[in-house]
Structure 1
Amino acid sequence: MKKLAIVGAVIVLLFAAIIALTNMKNSEKLKDNPYGTNDLNQSTIDLLKDENYQNIILPDALAEKIESGEGVVGYFFSPECMHCKSYTPKMMPIADELGIQVNQLNVLEFGDTGDAYGITATPTMIYFENGEEVARLEGAAPEETTRQFFNDVVLK
């Protein structure tokens, strides 16, 4: 019985140590995060330092850009979406190569905003001009389709 109590105590201590280390690592990642809050889903925290997710925009800032009338690319993604995880690392280098600013909105953190733009699946990229939606690209599109969207719609 005594051995069982010792083993149980060791297991509890190991779990406590794992939780403490995870919290320390998360608090380090959360410093100066673009979301303006530390109350984020773990999958979002895991993307904070990912080079492909450095153009995060908050819902109010995106709405303001769209309302300004300038051409705006909104990219609606979820860090838990397997299609987003495979598409974003392919799409962002193309956007960078073409000099296109892609404003990334995390619908996991801001789900109501996705609803406001009619987002039914992720990833979804929408190009806005003069405050209106011009075109959208849904799903993990092939590289050629992404290039065509950027060239024919955004850079036209």
Structure 2
Amino acid sequence: MKKILIFLGVVVVLFAGLAIVNNASTSKKVEGNPFEKSSLHPETIKQLDNPNYQNIILPEELKSSLDADESMTVYFYQPTCPACVEASPIIVPMTADMGIDLKLYNLLEFNEGWAEHNIQSTPTVIHYQDGQEAGRVEGLYPEEQYNLWFEQVKALD
């Protein structure tokens, strides 16, 4: 009986140690993140260093920009969305090449974006002209279709 208790004690200490190390590692990764949150979903953490997910816009920034009647293009995505993971390497570099400052809004971290911007599915890209929605594209499309849509957006500016 004594051996079982000692064994169980060692197992509990090992698991506690692993939890502490994992928590410290995650905290270090989350430190200074562009979402300004103390904890992030694991899939968001995986994308922190990905060049396709760097031009983040926060809900407050988006609201103040739209309230100021600014024009902008915003990509609403979720790191857990397979279509977003497929679309991002297409549309993020494409918009950069076209000179479009594409802002990225992470709906997994900021759920309020779904209702506030009438998002039905991801990926969704919305172009705002003078603070008002001027057009949107929802879903995963071939590169040529994205290109045509972004050309129309570029023509608006």
Shift in CA distance, 84/143, structure 1 to aligned 2, threshold 3 Å: same
Aligned 1:1-156 pairs, distance under 5 A: 5=5, 8-156=8-156
Alpha-carbon distance between aligned partners in 2 of 1:58 and 1:104, rounded to the nearest angstrom: 9
Partner SS, residue 135 of structure 1: strand
For structure 1, which runs of at least 5 residues remain unmatched after alignment? none
Question: What code does the residue aligned with 1:120 have?
Answer: Q
Aligned length: 156
8 A Cα contact 2:30 2:39, kept in partner: no
Matches of 1:9 and 1:89, distance apart in 2: 48
Deviates more, 1:40-49 or 1:118-127: 40-49
Q: Deviations over 1:88-117 (max 9, x none)?
A: 122111111112111111111211122111
Return closer, same or farther for 1:10/1:52 CA change in 2, 3 Å cut-off: farther
Runs of 4+ in 1 over 6 A off after TM superposition: none
Q: Secondary structure at the match of 2:25?
A: helix
**How many Å apart are 1:34 and its aligned residue?**
1.3
Q: In the aligned structure 2, how far is the partner of 1:91 from the partner of 1:11?
A: 48
What's the TM-score, normalizing by structure 1? 0.87
Q: Deviations over 1:50-102 (max 9, x none)?
A: 21111111111112222333320111111111111111122111111112111
Q: Secondary structure at the match of 1:118?
A: coil
* Matched-pair identity in %: 36
**Higher mean C-alpha displacement, 34-43 vs 123-132:** 34-43
Structure 2, unaligned runs of 5 or more: none
Letter in 2 for 1:114: W
Change (3 A) 1:66 1:13: same
What's the TM-score once normalised by structure 2's chain length? 0.86
RMSD: 2.0
Amino acid at match of 1:140: L
Rounded Cα–Cα distance in structure 2 between residues aligned with 1:79 and 1:11: 34
- Residues 55, 102 of structure 2: 8 Å contact kept: yes
Letter in 2 for 1:40: L
Amino acid at match of 2:90: K
C-alpha change, 1:90 and 1:9, in structure 2 (3 Å) is farther
Q: Please tell me the residue identity of whatever aligns with 2:85.
A: K
**Secondary structure of the corresponding residue to residue 33 of structure 1:** coil
> Quick check: 1:127–1:154 contact (8 Å CA) kept in 2?
no
